[in-house]
Each structure stands twice: as C-alpha cells, then as structure tokens.
C-alpha cells in the first residue's frame, strides 16, 4: 500500500493533476490491475461502504452496482429463481452467495448499470468473476480475490480492467472534509447504523411488518445512504429494484424509482421471457430491446421493420391491458426515502408499483395526510426519525 496514488486526470481530461492520498498512514486500497480514475475511485469508495454496511446489517454477502457516485443496484446473496436467472443472464450454473448478490445488483437496472463499478462485501470468487467478465463494466472493489478470479478479471477488457482490493479493517477518520471552489467543508461522517431499532415506530393503522420487509427496508435505506439526494429506493426479495437519485422534487424520485421497479417486474413477464432474439444479438442490445418492447415505442419498431434485425420472428406486442394486469401482480414491495414525504402523492405513486411497506423519517407538516394515504391502501409505514442526505 502507498500514501498516495496519481490518477490519469480528474472528472474530465482537462482536470489535471489528479491524485488520491491520505494524510496519515497508508491508503487502504491496492490496485491489482488496470488504472482506475478519479470517478472510478469515487464509485469504488462509496460502493464499498454500502456493501460493507449491508452485510453488517443483514449478515448476508452483499454487492452493489455504481454509476456516477450513485447505485444502480444493491442486493444481498439470496439464491436466484429460474426467472431471475433468465432476466439477469446468468445461465444455469451453480452460483456462490456473493455471485448471486452481484447478479441481483447488476440486474436491477441493467441499462443504468452499463459501464458500472461493482462492489463486493466478500472475497471475489470465480463464479462472480465469470459473471463480471460478461458485462460491460469499468471495475470492481472487494476485500480480496481468489487466484482464479483474479486471473479471469485480468483477462477482461484486453487486460485493462480495473481491479481494486480494499483493507476490510480500514476505519476512516470520524471527520471528513472536501473542497468546493477553494473552500473546505468539514463534517462528521454519517456513521448512523441501519438496524432493527429503526423499524419500531409504526404510525399507520396496519402494524404488520414481516422480517422480509424489514430486511428489504434495510437494503433500501442503506442504499439511500450512499445515493445522491434527493433519493428514494424500492426493494423486494433481497435487492433494490428501483432507485431514484438526485432529483430536486421528491415525487420525481418516487416516480423515477417506481418506473424502474415497474421495468424490473415487466422483464419477468412471460411474453418478455419468450422473446425470440437472434443469436447474434449482444447482451446490451437485448437489454435495450427489452426496454423498447416494454415501452410505448415498440409499435414503431414493428412498423418500420427494425424487428427483423433483432428477432427470428415478429413478436406480438404487450397490450396496455396485459401490462396493467401484470403490474398489478407485483406486491409486497418495500420503499425507503432519504427524507420525509411532503405530500400523499408519493404514496399514491408508490401504491401503483406494489409498495406495501414504507420507511421514512417523518416530520413533515403534512404527515397526517401521508399517513392517511397509506391507511387508504392498507400500507405499513415506519417513521425512523433519520435523514439520509448524501452529497
């Protein structure tokens, strides 16, 4: 390990010189392959904090997919269903728990994860490395790598793939600083723990909060802790399924995250799973095509004959009625917000995406309206009393 590491450039090629360094001791990171840049390390260090905390909170191996200092996905290492294997393109081979976590994190929002940075809470094994190898990705951070995994990753992207190892025992200074326009900002690190104690203040008429919902609310809140604010996250089945980041209006966060959650669910529709793709279609093009097929613009693809470049035969489109019927089947979704909901419109939008459980700080002058809207739909809502802004 070293005290500093020179980088190629900063956020943009004209921003030179660039480096990461530590004032006392040595950097807790070692570059095992490639040459990570400024944004790579921003993603790596934020995503590592997320997966480390997620494992501490759930006891399960955890993974995250990051783009531009916000997660596109985060998940714990639960086994994959057959449908999930299909929509995440994992194949039929057995997968380790950390590989399952990565597949879930990468698969939540595959379009946003294109060119991502991956983070793993556990040692990267060959199962995980083989999944990463197939994806368009900038790099990975983990506490260690098996020899086989490292060999696989070093062969990716013509040998230039970024592989970073971090000391899992590293503890940063409790005070953090950064500069903006030549002025130094200083604050205490956000060391608040997301644990069971945050889910006791149930404010709705419905008090039902199953263990699985608590787990998913933990995933949502820990994800939000490292997401550019304002932010909202939907979670289900041990993973984030829709993240709305960096919006000025909270309802826009809720809509954006809800649309992503809907897209994740629509990918599991039998018609989508049965799409007759040509064998020469690349993974990324399949992702884009699935989004087009799910969306309103698919009629244009059918009309102009583009479908012949994608499919072996002309697929029948999903009707509006079929979409509504399928979306209505998505239930038991958990929703976390990094600050209070100011209006009931957020709850109305969340209800459309199957949300049954909500965690938010509370403290709005319109809390009564928000609670009333939850009660109308039989939702369970917790006021956790903590704000999780991240900038």
pLDDT, one tens digit per residue, over 128-182 is 999 999 999 999 999 999 999 999 999 999 999 999 999 999 999 999 999 999 9
CATH of the domain at 194: 3.40.140.20
Domain count, the chain: 3
Q: Which residues pair with 239 in a beta bridge?
A: 75, 236
Residue 285 has pLDDT above 90, yes or no: no
Residue 295 has pLDDT above 90, yes or no: no
What pLDDT does 1 receive? 64
- Secondary structure (DSSP) of 71-87: EEEEEE-PPPPHHHHHH
What pLDDT does 308 receive? 79
The answer on 71 and 218 residing in a single domain is no
Among 139, 166, 193, identify where a domain stops. Answer: 166
Percent of the chain with pLDDT over 70: 98
Tokens of 328: 């209505």
Residue 31 has pLDDT above 80, yes or no: yes
Rounded to whole angstroms, how far apart are CA atoms 239 and 264?
Answer: 11
Q: Which is the catalytic residue, given 230, 263, 269, 384?
A: 230
Q: Which of 342, 338, 194, 327 is nearest to 258 (CA)?
A: 327
Among 109, 135, 166, identify where a domain stops. Answer: 166
Q: Is residue 355 part of a domain?
A: yes
Rounded to whole angstroms, how far apart are CA atoms 228 and 211?
Answer: 28
Helix boundaries (H) for the chain: 38-58, 82-87, 97-107, 126-134, 147-154, 211-225, 250-266, 270-273, 283-294, 298-304, 320-327, 345-352, 367-376
Rounded to whole angstroms, how far apart are CA atoms 6 and 231?
Answer: 32
Q: Is residue 322 part of a domain?
A: no
Tokens of 219: 């995933």
Q: How many Å from the N-terminal Cα to the C-terminal Cα in the chain?
A: 28
362 contacts: CB under 8 Å, gap ≥ 6: 201, 203, 340, 383, 384, 385
Q: Is residue 143 part of a domain?
A: yes
The answer on 374 and 260 residing in a single domain is yes
Tokens of 358: 């909500």
Q: What is the pLDDT of residues 73-115, one digit of tens each?
A: 999 999 999 999 999 999 888 899 999 999 999 999 999 999 9
Distances (CA, A) of 142 to 9, 30, 65, 259: 23, 10, 13, 31
Average pLDDT over residues 299-313: 75
pTM: 0.95
Catalytic site includes residue 391:
yes
Task: Give the number of other Cβ atoms within 10 Å of residue 93's Cβ.
Answer: 10
The answer on 218 and 87 residing in a single domain is no
Q: Which is the catalytic residue, given 67, 156, 225, 323?
A: 67
Q: Is residue 204 part of a domain?
A: yes
Percent of the chain with pLDDT over 90: 86
Pairing of strands 62-67, 29-33: unpaired
Given CA atoms 220, 224, 225, 226 in this order, what sign does their dihedral have?
Answer: positive
Q: How many residues make up the chain in this entry?
A: 391
Catalytic site includes residue 230:
yes
Q: Is 104 helix (H, G, I), strand (E, B) or coil?
A: helix
- How far from chain centre, in Å, is Cα 341? 21
The answer on 19 and 104 residing in a single domain is yes
13 contacts: CB under 8 Å, gap ≥ 6: none
The answer on 147 and 81 residing in a single domain is yes
The answer on 139 and 64 residing in a single domain is yes
The answer on 29 and 130 residing in a single domain is yes
Q: Is residue 211 part of a domain?
A: yes
Q: Which is the catalytic residue, given 68, 86, 133, 352?
A: 68
Residue-number span of the structural domain to which 89 is assigned: 4-166
Q: Which is the catalytic residue, given 158, 207, 324, 391?
A: 391
User: Mean of the per-residue pLDDT values for the chain?
Assistant: 94
């Amino acid at each position: 390990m070293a005290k500093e590491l020179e980088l190629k450039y900063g956020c943009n090629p004209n921003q030179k010189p660039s480096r990461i360094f530590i004032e006392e001791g040595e950097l807790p990171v070692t570059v095992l392959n490639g040459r990570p840049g400024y944004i790579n390390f921003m993603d790596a260090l934020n995503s590592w904090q997320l997966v480390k905390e997620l494992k501490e909170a759930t006891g399960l191996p955890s993974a995250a997919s990051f783009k531009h200092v916000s997660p596109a996905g985060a998940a714990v290492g639960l086994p994959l269903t057959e449908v999930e294997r299909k929509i995440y393109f994992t194949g039929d081979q057995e997968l380790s728990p950390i590989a399952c976590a990565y597949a879930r994190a990468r698969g939540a929002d595959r379009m946003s994860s294109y060119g991502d940075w991956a983070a793993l809470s556990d040692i990267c094994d060959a199962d995980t490395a083989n999944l990463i190898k197939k994806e368009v990705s900038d790099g990975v951070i983990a506490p260690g790598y098996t020899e086989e995994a490292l060999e696989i990753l070093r062969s990716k992207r013509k040998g230039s793939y970024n592989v970073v190892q971090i000391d899992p025992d590293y503890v940063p200074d409790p005070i953090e600083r950064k500069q903006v326009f030549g002025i130094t900002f200083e604050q205490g690190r956000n060391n608040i723990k997301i644990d069971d104690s945050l889910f006791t203040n149930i404010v709705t008429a419905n008090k039902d909060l199953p263990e699985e919902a608590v787990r998913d609310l933990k995933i949502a809140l820990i994800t939000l802790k490292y997401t550019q604010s304002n932010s909202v996250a939907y979670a289900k089945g041990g993973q984030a399924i829709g993240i709305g980041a960096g919006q000025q209006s909270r309802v826009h966060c809720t809509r954006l995250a809800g649309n992503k959650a809907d897209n994740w669910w629509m990918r599991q529709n039998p018609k989508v799973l049965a799409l007759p793709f040509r064998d020469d279609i690349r993974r990324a093009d399949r992702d884009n095509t699935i989004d087009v097929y799910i969306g309103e613009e698919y009629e244009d693809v059918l009309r102009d004959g583009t479908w012949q470049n994608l499919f072996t035969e002309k697929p029948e489109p999903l009707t509006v009625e079929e979409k509504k019927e399928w979306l209505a089947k998505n239930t038991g979704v958990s929703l976390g917000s990094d600050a209070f909901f100011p209006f009931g419109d957020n709850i109305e939008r969340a209800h459309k995406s199957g949300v049954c459980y909500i965690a938010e700080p509370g403290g709005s002058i319109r809390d009564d309206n928000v609670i009333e809207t939850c009660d109308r739909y039989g939702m369970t809502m917790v006021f956790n009393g903590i704000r999780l802004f991240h900038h």
